[in-house]
Every structure is written in C-alpha cells, then in structure tokens.
Amino acid sequence: MIKQLMKQELMEIASKSRFNKQLGRVQMRQERPSSLREGINPTAKPTGTGCFDCLTTGGWWLHLRRCAECGRIGCCDNSPNQHASKHNASTGHPIITSFEHGENWFYDYRTGDFFTGPKVPGPHAHPLDQPVPGPAGRVPIEWQSLLHE
C-alpha cells in the first residue's frame, strides 16, 4: 500500500511536470555535477528526521520531503497538511528532494521538472526505524482515508 501511494504521489507530481506517457514514467534530467541550480544550498543540513511542522503541531505524515535550499523537512502532498508545498509557497524556496529511503530525486516547483541533483549533506532519509506513515504514536487508525490524492 505504501509503495503504491509513493508511486501515485510521484505520478501526481509528474502530471504537473514533463511526463513520458508512452513509457509511463517521469523523465529525469541529469544535472552536471559542477552546475548548481538556484535554490540548492549544498551545505544546508536537514532540520530533523520528521516533518518540522507536524512535529511542532502534533500532526503526522505519509512521506517526507527536504527543502534543497534550507534543509527544512516537510510532509508530502499526499499527507494531510502538505507542509513541503506550503513551505515552498511561503518562502519561495523552489526545490525539494525526497527524504525517503531508496529515492534519489529533486523536484523544481518553478519548472515542474524532476532531476538528479548534487550531493547534499546527510542524512538523506529518515531513520530506518521510523514508521511510514509516521511518527509512531500519532498516526490515526483511519489514516488512509485522510490522505490527499
């Protein structure tokens, strides 16, 4: 179920970006290692191991995203509060990267493009013992019915 939701979320983001319908996958552009996009700070460390705002307000998340400019961890657009996108809207920080294990992509809100970005300071994902959805103890039993599609 979780992997299906992750795929669905990427497909939703992809529908706003360059999407190869024939192949059914997101087209990732390879960035040259020496080129840095505006909106990526290669020294910004993550603000923690979970969504900064959810942890502050007692909320919960499905998947985590990391602001590539300041390192703030926010929840994905399928999560009830969509803090990563709200952070983009309030700060203008244009690029996020996944904060999930096994995902290595960046997304530019300005262009709708997914791309492989530069190396950023770790950690690159939440702790392995942190449940998805998380955090432990805050996820309601009916969590699936509370997700955004």
User: Cis ω on the peptide bond leading into residue 123 (within 30° of 0)?
Assistant: yes
For 98, the enclosing helix (H) or strand (E) is strand 95-98
The model's confidence at residue 37, banded by pLDDT at 50, 70 and 90, is: confident
On average, the pLDDT of the chain sits at 85
44 in Cβ contact with 71 (< 8 Å): yes
pLDDT in tens, 58-110: 999 999 999 999 999 999 999 999 999 999 999 999 999 999 999 999 999 99
Report d(CA 105, CA 69) in Å as an integer: 15
Spell out the domains of the chain, with CATH numbers in brackets.
Answer: 2-30+39-146 (3.30.40.10)
Q: Which residue has the higher pLDDT, 10 or 141?
A: 141
Token pair of 57, please? 């307000």
Q: Is the omega angle on the peptide bond into residue 135 within 30 degrees of 0, that is, cis?
A: yes
Task: Indicate if the alpha-carbon torsion angle 108, 58, 70, 103 is positive or negative.
Answer: negative
